Amino acid sequence: MTFTAVNARLLAKYGGDVVLSRFMPGAPPVNEWDPPNPPVEISETLRFIATAAETELVAASMVQVDDLLGVLAAPVTEELNPPLPADTISVGSESYTILSASAVHSRPGGALHFAVQARA
């Protein structure tokens, strides 16, 4: 079994659904004197596994106790891949802003998943 298959199986079995969202600029106005169009929100439902913060990171103030840390499945939507700081992750009624997202690779090419830190 490949690492990709194991990763997908673990996210499917232990992960929960979250919504990754990003605001993209709206379409340009028809006439240059028209006001700009409002931004458009792009969202995708992904699997997420929450992990615990290392005590040393909390003690060093790199991570706050209520930060959301975990593994996020790689987005399929091109505009959302990779997740960026300022994107939001919604878990139920809670919304978190991504502070960092680092890609995890097992081979050259696209990321399998992202290690994410987000804050409410």
| H/E element, 107 | none
User: pTM value?
Assistant: 0.79
CA distance 116 to 17: 15
Per-residue pLDDT of the chain (120 residues; tens, 9 = 90+): 555 676 677 777 878 889 999 999 998 999 989 999 999 999 999 888 887 666 656 555 667 778 888 888 888 888 888 899 999 999 888 999 999 998 887 666 666 788 898 998
Query: Is the Cβ–Cβ distance between 65 and 49 less than 8 Å?
Result: no
Query: Is the Cβ–Cβ distance between 23 and 36 less than 8 Å?
Result: no
